[in-house]
Amino acid sequence: MHVDLLNPAQSARTAHLLHQHAPLVHCMTNDVVQTFTANVLLALGASPAMVIDAGEAAQFSAIASAVLINVGTLTQPRAQAMRAAVESANAAKTPWTLDPVAVGALTLRSEFCRGLLQLQPAAIRGNASEILALAGESHGGRGVDTTDTAATALPAAQKLARESGAIVAVTGEVDYITDGQQTLAVQGGDPLMTRVVGTGCALSAVVAASCALPGSRLENVAGACALMKFAGQQAAGGRGPGSFMPAFLDALYAMNAEVAA
Amino acid sequence: MHVDLLNPAQSARTAHLLHQHAPLVHCMTNDVVQTFTANVLLALGASPAMVIDAGEAAQFSAIASAVLINVGTLTQPRAQAMRAAVESANAAKTPWTLDPVAVGALTLRSEFCRGLLQLQPAAIRGNASEILALAGESHGGRGVDTTDTAATALPAAQKLARESGAIVAVTGEVDYITDGQQTLAVQGGDPLMTRVVGTGCALSAVVAASCALPGSRLENVAGACALMKFAGQQAAGGRGPGSFMPAFLDALYAMNAEVAA
Amino acid sequence: MHVDLLNPAQSARTAHLLHQHAPLVHCMTNDVVQTFTANVLLALGASPAMVIDAGEAAQFSAIASAVLINVGTLTQPRAQAMRAAVESANAAKTPWTLDPVAVGALTLRSEFCRGLLQLQPAAIRGNASEILALAGESHGGRGVDTTDTAATALPAAQKLARESGAIVAVTGEVDYITDGQQTLAVQGGDPLMTRVVGTGCALSAVVAASCALPGSRLENVAGACALMKFAGQQAAGGRGPGSFMPAFLDALYAMNAEVAA
């Protein structure tokens, strides 16, 4: 199982492309992380929008540059709206990304996510437990937490990538990004990122945005992972998770401003 | 098309009235901006409340000082609840304000907002694309972003004000507030306000609150626009959008504290 | 009516237990406070999760360490999901906590909360108006605000505790925590806590978490109240509610870090 370290220049390159192309990201995400997700995309120069009625979501998928499907607070009506958005995205060739939050132990989301795998996701981003469960290798972790390291789930991620055609990012202390053949590893980040809600979900939104960029999708998705880890490192060193959050958004914005300069 | 610059003293006057009257603002707003909207109102000394069941929303409109209807994440059940709230508000003579987020390209919200125009809104606050679309002059912008300047939409805003009876605020780098006859312009603000989600939506909540105040509604709505721009200027100069947000709330609170002193 | 002041060491003891046991708290809470609630629990070392589909919520209640039911933005579908979660929690002996936001004047939540009282809540946390209304002693306050002091509602809280079997915390400038026989008082806090949305709702989540801890539930719930007031005091002294929020989370995290050291 060969793994390459991502070229350290890729995170600035992805930040530059995000700033330059300002993708409009249609985020169908969970209730808990909507504000933070929007602010992360805005700090990077991308443009978030949340539309959740089934009819409107389908209309919007055709306008948007990218779609994010995050099942953290899934309900039956939202599942229908998400499915409509994905089908419309596919018809419009808009790339869509899946964040299978807490898939495994909970029935509605597990069946829904497995069904979505047939609909050609551009990317999938999850923690080890989620990727293992989505690949059918386990029954998932303790809610949103993972009880496995990302490396443990790498074979499942590679299998999932080959079967679904998606770039799969399994993230943790080290992130692994794979298309099923080639695998890139991304180091960095800070433990405080796990004490702030939504860093993983917001990463999935940046992954979704990166799928709208030109160039290698594998490298752009890995670049999305890398720039979030870089901002996490920049923001650490404060007094705790409260001061971490503004510092994290400022660090993302600084990457955006640097590449703009 | 004559436009007057708002008297610079109006923003402190509106802040004073908000602090003094502490209006209870029933916010039926989108999922992304609820926390920020509540915190903006609290910083100014107003009192936010979010109630979304149709029956409860109708009950609450009769108790509240003002109602905000923001269609950013509209669904069919929420549209029904909002309509019930508006009808109850009208019966109780509670002023209600419309924020027609991303109206135009998306069907559900466009039809819903056009229907609401018949129900005597006290105020309407939107960006240029939204006001143009609501007035029937265009099909709306790229999602929540505007592709027009506020000045472009001023004739549409004036027409909309005359037809609906509402004070219409079309906001952007310069804000224009009109009753269809008289028009006030408000300058200020900072570009960072567009890199933080919810500044426009929170402004609509402050506009809603200002409609519960005594005195000229045109001047109070313009004062609401002005105090948000003033706080935006106070909060700029930091390291990015992350540090901007706390500084913005602190600046609103300082206006509140100054007038209280 | 005898009241004891809580032992000042209890707040550090509860913080220590939260850090040590890291309870998984299933939060079915309102739309406005979800992010802040999650961040408060994470700062303390607990693990939040929000699951809202009725079927999934029932599955998750059996996995979680504790459940929070907050009716701030109740709808009919959510009421059904919450009821399913509570019944599953009871079957699995998972303690569940009720936050009866704005109960009294609004029909759906009032009937729903009164029905829940039959289902053995472990704890109830509300302001004076909410506790008075839930105990059937009044018709509730002006929305989410309270117009009574906590002391006024203490007899109602004690009656409610005896009738429901729950620990009842009625909170305000002074918090009172009672099992119907013994009553503890907690002082501290800062007025800025009322200018930030969600401090009360997040406290209810910490109360829910504290019900999963070993030892005296009365003391653990009082400890939850005390550690939030302590963090509020630590965070005050800044420039306003904007800078208060990060400082508040940092203060909670510091309690966590201190006990971990």
Q: Are A182 and A4 in contact (CB under 8 A)?
A: yes
- Which of B52, B246, B257 faces C242 most closely, judged by CB atoms? B246
> Which residues of chain A does C209 touch, with a Cβ-Cβ cutoff of 8 Å?
none
* Amino acid B258: pLDDT: 64
Give the ipTM of the model, two decimals please.
Answer: 0.95
Chains near B with 3+ CB pairs less than 8 A apart are A, C
> Which residues of chain A does B30 touch, with a Cβ-Cβ cutoff of 8 Å?
50
Helices A217-235, A241-260: inter-axial angle, 10-degree rounding: 130
Name the amino acid, one letter, at C123: A
Q: Are B210 and B224 in contact (CB under 8 A)?
A: yes
Between CA A162 and CA A31 the distance in angstroms is 31
Between CA B241 and CA A42 the distance in angstroms is 9
Q: What token pair was written down for C48?
A: 């939040």
> Which residues of chain B does C142 touch, with a Cβ-Cβ cutoff of 8 Å?
24, 47, 63
Q: What is the mean pLDDT of chain A?
A: 94
Stretch 62-91 of chain A: residues touching chain B, C-beta under 8 Å:
63-64, 77
Name the amino acid, one letter, at C108: L
CB contact under 8 A, B36 and A39: no
> Which residues of chain A does C43 touch, with a Cβ-Cβ cutoff of 8 Å?
195, 240-242
Task: Report helix, strand or coil for C64.
Answer: coil
> Which residues of chain C does A111 touch, with a Cβ-Cβ cutoff of 8 Å?
none
Q: Over 60: is that where the pLDDT of A173 sits?
A: yes
Q: Over 80: is that where the pLDDT of A10 sits?
A: yes
pLDDT tens for chain C, 261 residues: list them: 689 999 989 999 999 999 999 999 999 999 999 999 999 999 999 999 999 999 999 999 999 999 999 999 999 999 999 999 999 999 999 999 999 999 998 999 999 999 999 999 999 999 999 999 999 998 655 545 555 788 999 999 999 999 999 999 999 999 999 999 999 999 999 999 999 999 999 999 999 999 999 999 999 999 999 999 999 999 998 899 999 999 999 999 999 766 554
Between CA C60 and CA C83 the distance in angstroms is 13
For chain B, where are the alpha helices, taking DSSP H only? 10-21, 34-43, 54-63, 76-91, 107-116, 128-134, 154-164, 199-210, 217-235, 241-260
pTM here? 0.96
Between CA B146 and CA B57 the distance in angstroms is 31
**pLDDT digits 0-9 by tens, B24-35:** 999 999 999 999
* Amino acid B62: pLDDT: 96
CB contact under 8 A, B56 and C144: no
* CB-neighbour burial class of residue C219 (10 A; exposed 0-12, middle 13-18, buried 19+): buried
Kindly give, in sequence order, each residue whose CB lies less than 8 Å from that of residue C11, ignoring residues fewer than 6 positions away. Answer: C223, C226, C227, C229, C230, C255
Q: Is A35 on the interface with B (CB under 8 A)?
A: yes
C-alpha distances out from residue A13 to A20, A38, A235, Å = 10, 21, 20
Task: Report helix, strand or coil for C99.
Answer: strand
* Amino acid C140: pLDDT: 56
Q: Average pLDDT in the B83-106 region? A: 97
**Strand runs (DSSP E) across A71-173, as ranges?**
96-99, 123-127, 167-171
Q: Percent of chain B at pLDDT above 90?
A: 90
B171 in a labelled binding site: yes
B228 in a labelled binding site: no
* Strand C4-5, strand C24-28: pairing: unpaired
- HSE of C185, CA atoms in CB hemisphere, 13 A: 12
Q: Average pLDDT in the B128-147 region? A: 76
CB contact under 8 A, A42 and B102: no
What is the CATH topology of the domain spanning A3-260?
Answer: UDP-N-acetylmuramoyl-L-alanine:D-glutamate ligase (3.40.1190)
Between CA A113 and CA A246 the distance in angstroms is 33
CB contact under 8 A, B43 and C195: yes
CB contact under 8 A, B196 and A42: yes
Q: What is the mean pLDDT of chain B?
A: 94
* Amino acid C12: pLDDT: 95
Comparing alpha-carbon positions, the chain B residue that sits nearest to C242 is: B246
> Which residues of chain C does B82 touch, with a Cβ-Cβ cutoff of 8 Å?
none
- Which of C38, C253, C257 faces A197 most closely, judged by CB atoms? C38
CB contact under 8 A, A142 and C254: no
CB contact under 8 A, A53 and B72: no
- HSE of A76, CA atoms in CB hemisphere, 13 A: 5
Q: Average pLDDT in the A132-155 region? A: 77
Name the amino acid, one letter, at A183: T
* Amino acid C2: pLDDT: 86
Q: What token pair was written down for B155?
A: 């004739």
C-alpha distances out from residue C233 to C189, C226, C240, Å = 5, 11, 13
CB contact under 8 A, B35 and A35: yes
* Amino acid A141: pLDDT: 53
CB contact under 8 A, C243 and B246: yes
Could you tell me the sign of the dihedral formed by the alpha carbons of C244, C250, C256, C257, in that order? negative
Read off the pLDDT band of B52 (50, 70, 90): very high
Q: Over 80: is that where the pLDDT of B256 sits?
A: no
Q: Are B197 and A42 in contact (CB under 8 A)?
A: yes
Residues of C37-56 as b/e, b for ≥16 C-beta within 10 angstroms? bbbbbbbbbbbbbbbbbbbb
> Which residues of chain A does C23 touch, with a Cβ-Cβ cutoff of 8 Å?
none
Q: Over 70: is that where the pLDDT of B166 sits?
A: yes
Comparing alpha-carbon positions, the chain C residue that sits nearest to B27 is: C32
- Which of A52, A53, A59 faces B105 most closely, judged by CB atoms? A59
* Amino acid C260: pLDDT: 53
Read off the pLDDT band of A202 (50, 70, 90): very high
Domain range summary for chain A, segments of one domain joined by +: 3-260
Closest CA to C180 of C192, C169, C191, C196: C169
DSSP character at residue C193: G
* Amino acid C147: pLDDT: 59
Q: Over 90: is that where the pLDDT of B2 sits?
A: no
Chains near A with 3+ CB pairs less than 8 A apart are B, C
Contacts 24+ apart (CB under 8 A), C214-218: C214/C17, C214/C21, C215/C17, C217/C122, C217/C123, C217/C167, C217/C179, C218/C167, C218/C177, C218/C178, C218/C179, C218/C182, C218/C184
CB contact under 8 A, A254 and B239: yes
Q: Is C102 on the interface with B (CB under 8 A)?
A: yes
